Amino acid sequence: MTEFASEPTWTLAELEGEGARHVTDAIWAYIQGGAGEEHTLRENAAAFDQWSLSPRVLVDVREIDLRTELLGRQVAVPFFVAPMAYQGQVHPDGELALARAVGPENVLATYSTLSSCSLEDIAKASGGAPRWFQLYLQPDFEVSRSLIERAERAGFDAIVLTADVPVLGVRDRQARGGFAIDASVPLGNGRDVVPPPRVPLAQGPVFRLRSEAGVSWEILGAIRSITRLPVIVKGILSVEDAQRAAREGAAGLLLSNHGGRQLDRSVSPLSVLPEIRKAVPETLEVYLDGGVRRASDVLIALALGAHAVGIGRPFLWALAADGAAGVRRYLRLLSEELATALAISGRRNLDEVDRNLLRESRP
């Protein structure tokens, strides 16, 4: 008997369906939802439609190399897992399942301040693999300081300061879905850690917000003074902020609108990538997340100048569907698709991916 595929593979659509079947409707609304009417959520994906790939033929593509370097560290692929909170609500093994799946493949993952597992346990589960720690500033800077110091001790490679959540966005789908934090899944990084604030309307027109809503650019210097780790600013969407982050000593910029979860009608990261890439020093690494789903999306972002791209929701679909095994299958799916797309584009490695690969499909 001839054996064809040894293991069934998922298509991306099947993976999404599997993920949905394994969590409650409320958790699914939390994962999938965006802010307001979800214009930005849709726009993140639609922005990729503006571009088409222009392949070259009759190129020797027997050897395909997907490796790249991020902040001086080699990684297997030019995509990474974006930080996503509360993974223990998606699968009982939470972030540990993610770390066990991506670690051995040398794929970079970013872990949220609001992880369900502690950053020390995540570090152990990742083995020696590259990992970044995402920081939500805490009302008490001493709590932020302690998180940063713990991340450095635990061997994280960078701090990703999320700057686009001075307050939590208005998330209709999540609210309608009735999502609530399950108290039986504790925050892994300790009881002192708190999520970003909401605007407390009940207090009347004078907002009394927690202090992290009041920080400004000086915070970058304060963070850099207490850690040797490079600091990446996540949530940049304008040239002005990109240049300011560069001046304040950021090592990288993650262009992001939080997966359309913060400000509805905000611009898509892909649409601002070319102007931001041009406006900051070449030594500054620029990444992007939001709406990246297929290998073609990865190629488009790289061709427009991104060093790497973050991917969010699909990793949660995979985690929900089958824990670490699910994440491994998704990783394989996307990596193989990327190698295939690169080969058919007539490119052998990421150095060969540049603006020549693209044509505007709706100028």
Ligand X SMILES: Cc1cc2nc3c(=O)[nH]c(=O)nc-3n(C[C@H](O)[C@H](O)[C@H](O)COP(=O)(O)O)c2cc1C
Q: Which residues are catalytic?
A: 258
Site for ligand X in 133-152 (CB under 6 A): 134
Should residue 118 be labelled a site residue for ligand X when binding is judged by CB under 6 A?
no
Is residue 319 classed as helix, strand or coil in its secondary structure? helix
Burial class (CB in 10 A: 0-12, 13-18, 19+), 236: buried
Find all residues with CB under 8 Å of 25, minimum gap 6, and list them: 177
Question: Rounded to a whole number, what is the largest CA-CA distance in the chain?
Answer: 74
Minimal CB distance to ligand X: which residue?
312
Binding mask 28-47 toward ligand X (x if CB under 6 A, else -) reads: --xx------------x---
Candidates 91, 131, 173, 258; binder of ligand X (CB under 6 A) is 258
Q: Return the number of the residue (61 or 193) whose C-beta is nearest ligand X.
A: 193
Please state whether beta strands 158-162 and 131-135 pair in parallel, antiparallel, or not at all (unpaired): parallel
CA 356, CA 351: separation in Å to the nearest integer?
12
Q: Using CB under 6 A, which of the segments 172-180, 307-315, 336-344, 352-360 binds ligand X?
A: 307-315
Instruction: Please say which residue, 103 or 235, places its beta carbon nearer to ligand X.
Output: 235
- When asked if residue 264 is in the footprint of ligand X (CB under 6 A), the reply is no
Q: Measured from the CB atom, is 114 or 318 closer to ligand X?
A: 114
**Which one of 40, 68, 112, 266 is in contact with ligand X (CB under 6 A)?**
112
C-alpha span between 330 and 107 (Å, rounded): 12
Residue 94 phi/psi, 5° resolution? 50, -140
* Interaction of residue 289 with ligand X, rule CB under 6 A: yes
SS3 209: coil
Identity (one letter) of the amino acid at 73? R
CA-wise closest residue to 41 among 318, 269, 276: 269
Contact between 311 and ligand X per CB under 6 A: yes
Single residue of 19, 259, 323, 326 touching ligand X by CB under 6 A = 259
| Cβ nearer to ligand X, comparing 293 with 348 | 293
- State the minimum distance, in angstroms, from the CB of residue 112 to ligand X: 3
Site for ligand X in 329-358 (CB under 6 A): none
Task: Specify the residue for token string 């907002």.
Answer: 207
Q: Quick check: helix, strand or coil at residue 351?
A: helix
* Total residues interacting with ligand X, rule: CB under 6 A: 25
Q: Which stretch binds ligand X (CB under 6 A): 55-63, 81-89, 216-224, 272-280?
A: 81-89
Give the tokens for residue 126: 């990742």
CB-based contact 268:40 (threshold 8 Å): yes
The nearest distance, CB 44 to ligand X, in angstroms, is: 6
Q: Which residues bind ligand X (CB under 6 A)?
A: 30-31, 44, 82-85, 112, 114, 134, 162, 234, 256, 258-259, 261, 289-292, 310-313, 316
